[in-house]
Amino acid sequence: MLYPLKFKPLFKERIWGGELLASAMNKKLPAGKRIGESWELSAVPGDVSVVANGKLAGNNLEELTEVYMGDLVGDHIYNHFGLLFPLLIKLIDAQDDLSIQVHPNDQLARERHNSYGKTEMWYVLACEPGAALYVGFNKPVTREEYLQHVNDGTLADILDRVPVKPGDTFFIPAGTIHAIGRGLLIAEIQQTSDITYRVFDWNRVDANGKGRELHTELALDAIDFDSKQQYDKTRTPRKNEAVNLVNSPYFVTNVVEVSGELIRNHEDKDSFVIYMGTEGNLELTWGAGTETLAKGETILVPACLDEVLLKGEGKVLEIYMM
């Protein structure tokens, strides 16, 4: 019988990372490493998540999908994606600015990389005073103007720099030029893809004086210069309700603030449901048992479980697919 699954986090060292995932999100980080990302749930080839709890501990996500198919992920999701779990769930500690970058859409990623594209969303967990995100252009920009700013090293001048606070939410469709600024702790939900076209890296160099690779030409065809997207999806949570943040073809994300007890019924969904603990401590109960869901933890509720009870005081992101 399937049950809500926790997975071992996959830690990623990054030039812009730090140690905040330990102090703020209760992660046991490797000593002496600048950890920028904790992949909470991943099916990226070479980085497939392994179960950490219960009788299925030690099995990876692909193995479980092969055995349990639609009972795990939902029938229509299994029929479309097969063994590839369609979402990648991360926590991001940006102690320095991330590169200015863009991700390809499904069509371009399929043509170039035989991969899905990368549409994503950000939920701000914590931030330093004055922290900001770079999302899209701050004015209409042509390809020629964009290239001039790239060549001049002034790309940041034409990006929309948005100051943020905890709870702010941004939806970043593939093709959107963007960067996470320094001093931010972010929950990121995205398509299963690790394709990034880096355009500008703030003139950073390593100990040998070498900068990271840029992908100027690849990025040019990926950028959506005509986007009219409203990126800010921030909503105020309401106690014991699911408040929708993002409703897209790739994923749906709600913020749920729990005080006491809250039943979440999912029998209308042909999908798994993911809960990310962002504040407090909760218990998640289903017909056969109970599992803890603390701040910093992520849990995957299989599609075959129609109802769960959330109990305690805390806040979660609730993620599924339509």
- Give catalytic residue positions: 198
CA atoms within 13 A on the CB side of 32: 0
CA gap 93, 195 in Å, rounded: 19
CA 265 from centre of chain: 24
* DSSP code for 241: S
CA gap 224, 142 in Å, rounded: 10
**Contact yes or no for 159/231 (Cβ under 8 A):** no
**Contact yes or no for 202/97 (Cβ under 8 A):** yes
Question: What is the radius of gyration, based on Cα positions, of the chain?
Answer: 20
Place of tokens 């490797």: 30
| Helix intervals (H) in 163-302 | 216-222
